[in-house]
């Protein structure tokens, strides 16, 4: 019964989503090897997330070291304006903290909402795009997927409430390199 439900879920999700396509630079190489080979100061890494390309790229200056497939909130392309809109925020962030997560492997909590996020939220209220009593939300992060569910990244299923989700092995790999000095840039 459990296997049948699992297969049914795969079929349903596959038919309703686009599969991850394209190449991911150095995806089969270990990030640790790339960093050692190039003698990189990990305090200068930038984690660039492109919502249009469904990629998280790790850069040093303007050089892409490695890319990973990712998925987003259920509304993957719009910018987050309020709690409950299922959008992933856009802007420049840093890490608040990181910790193991019992459901999603690891959780890297970003500092959303920023001052820029608050400005967008307030402007959206003033323009009538969101309700006057809308809350901005929070607890946005980069995390893995439930155990044995890495395939939802492959089929590009946007399932979060606004977070960035990666395969568990991928979030575990970047986890040790992201710190409070790392820039996390999210664009559309």
What local confidence, expressed as pLDDT, does residue 2 receive?
46
Q: What is the pTM of this model?
A: 0.88
CA dihedral 20, 151, 76, 62 (to 10 degrees): -60
**The pLDDT of residue 22:** 61
- What tens digit of pLDDT does each residue of 138-150 get? 999 999 999 999 9
Contact of 49 with 187, CB cutoff 8 Å: yes
| Helix H or strand E encompassing 151 | helix 151-154
Domains of the chain, first to last: 2-187 (2.40.440.10)
Using DSSP's 3-state secondary structure scheme, residue 171 falls into helix
C-alpha of 160 from chain center: 9
Say yes or no to pLDDT of 82 above 90: yes
The more confidently predicted of residues 7 and 41 is 41
Question: What pLDDT score does 137 carry?
Answer: 95
The per-residue pLDDT for range 19-43, each reduced to its tens digit, is: 555 689 999 999 999 999 999 999 9
Closest by Cα among 123, 121, 124 to 137: 121
* Terminal-residue alpha carbon distance, the chain: 40
- Mean pLDDT, to the nearest integer, of 96-100? 96
User: Residue 176 pLDDT > 50, yes or no?
Assistant: yes
pLDDT at position 7: 37
């Amino acid at each position: 019964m459990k296997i049948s439900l699992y297969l049914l879920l795969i079929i349903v999700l596959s038919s309703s989503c686009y599969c991850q396509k394209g190449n991911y630079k150095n995806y089969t190489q270990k990030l640790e090897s790339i960093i050692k080979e190039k003698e990189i100061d990990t305090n200068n890494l930038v984690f660039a997330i492109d919502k249009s390309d469904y990629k998280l790229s790790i850069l040093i200056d303007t050089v892409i070291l490695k890319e990973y497939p990712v998925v987003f909130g259920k509304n993957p392309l719009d910018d987050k304006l309020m709690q409950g809109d299922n959008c992933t925020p856009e802007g420049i962030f840093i890490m608040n903290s990181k910790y193991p997560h019992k459901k999603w492997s690891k959780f890297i909590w970003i500092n959303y909402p920023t001052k820029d996020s608050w400005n967008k939220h307030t402007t959206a209220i003033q323009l009538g795009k969101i309700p006057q009593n809308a809350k901005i939300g929070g607890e946005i992060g980069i995390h893995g997927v439930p155990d044995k569910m890495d395939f939802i990244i492959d089929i590009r299923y946007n399932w979060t409430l606004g977070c960035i989700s990666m395969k568990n092995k991928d979030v575990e790999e970047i986890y040790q390199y992201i710190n409070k000095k790392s820039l996390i840039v999210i664009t559309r």
